[in-house]
Structure 1
Amino acid sequence: MSEPAVPAPEVFRTREANRRRLTPAGQAEIDRLTAAGEASGWLSPLAYNLTISHSHRFVWYRVAKVATRTIRHHCETHGVTLDVDHAMRVRYPLASYADYFTFAFVRDPLDRFVSAWHDKVVDHNYYDFDAGTHERMQRVEEFARWTATHDLSAVPGTDQHLTLQSRMIDLNRVDFVGRLETFDRDFAEVCERIGAPAVPTAPKNQTAPGGRGRQVSAELRELVRTMYRRDYQVFGYPPDAPDQED
């Protein structure tokens, strides 16, 4: 089988009216590469949530609940065009982006889980629980038990706010992984690499300091440690980190 031509990276953009979907031309290129065969190696084996800028030549592996709004807002307000804006579960052509800078941000798995619970359960009924179930889920341990019944490495299949962070990043190709805990320093490095102004800013979707400490029980800590064992191992977060202080 002859190898398909490498598509120009600029072919891939999301639609103006739907920033989650590729344009017809971009999707056609993905379909063409897919038809060339799974063994061709032209597409990433797994799908990711991607934001791509051709003008600043970067691929950002978006990890939900880790400063995604902050990073996107920074790009929008500092002239960084997001050609692939908010694409969901996309396999991308590896050769087309071989010389693009790739990055992602992660955070302590326990903090991320509590943040998701606050946002998607306490503040909203994002998972569309019935009234009785939603009332039970106001206890974070109940929500953790429910989450533990899912395969958190399944994409698609698991909600992006709960998926393993290590599954949402192409670990074989990522150039830089920053941390929410050192966001100002790490994001400044990203901005320097992509040629954007670095302006210190607090992450917009970070749980308020001390919030986690008031929520954590031994049961919750153990459930999260088990569910997110791979994230703790890959990113080096200590599973028994002390609670944050007010």
Structure 2
Amino acid sequence: MVKNKVTLITGASGGIGCELAKVFAQSKHDLVLVARRVDVLQELAVELGKEHNIRVYVIGMDLSEGGAAAKVYDKVKELNLEVDILVNNAGFGYVGLFHEEEQQKDTDMLQVNISALTELTKLFGRDMAKRKEGRILNVASTGSYHPGPYTAVYYATKAYVLSFSEAIAEELRPFNVSVTALCPGATKTNFAKRAGRRDNSAAMEPKLVAKAAYKALMKKKSVVVPGLANKLLVILPRRLVKGMVGKYQKRLSKR
């Protein structure tokens, strides 16, 4: 009997993470879904398990807490699972003046967007390298390419994700482990609401972003930027985009 591939997805309770779970389920991957909202994950797990005849495991975890990544890894080992594909999707941001926001927001963001992602990549990437097989998808952003006034810390964390992912993609290639950085632009998720801004009417559907990410991951591409407008945005000079981003974020933050 051929075993299904196992894919672990963080931030799977909504948005791009939820849509990625559906895409992998359609391809008969068993899933490990990680997020804070356990009730939502359990509903999704039941739905995908029944519809696609796969096994779906749920791990309730707040990745903003120190040591959370190691706890996720340990729980996976307790389940006696080997993760074939790691999807580091969890992340958040806010819109506002950096000097006026609470420090805890920045601390939590750095923990989720950088520290937890890095630790999960090391823990599961090390296992993949030993097995000489695996794939990693790290969710960055079009904001990885430019400074982001009014979203300064968020854009900076995503710049780290892109740089980190491209670097370790080179390191892990000899071990038959691929690393793909997904750089979506504005997407129709709860991200905008949580960030404290209005939705962008031109935002992409998360389903389309997830499909583009899956396709690029399977092709072992190092970077994928879904959508023509987003592709054009990332090639513009930083000095031009910085001002555009500032005006855009400031306008969306007004209610």
> Scaled by the length of structure 1, what TM-score is found?
0.32
> Which structure has the highest helix share of the two?
2
Larger Rg: 1
> Scaled by the length of structure 2, what TM-score is found?
0.31
Higher RCO structure, 1 or 2 (CA under 8 Å, sep 6+): 1
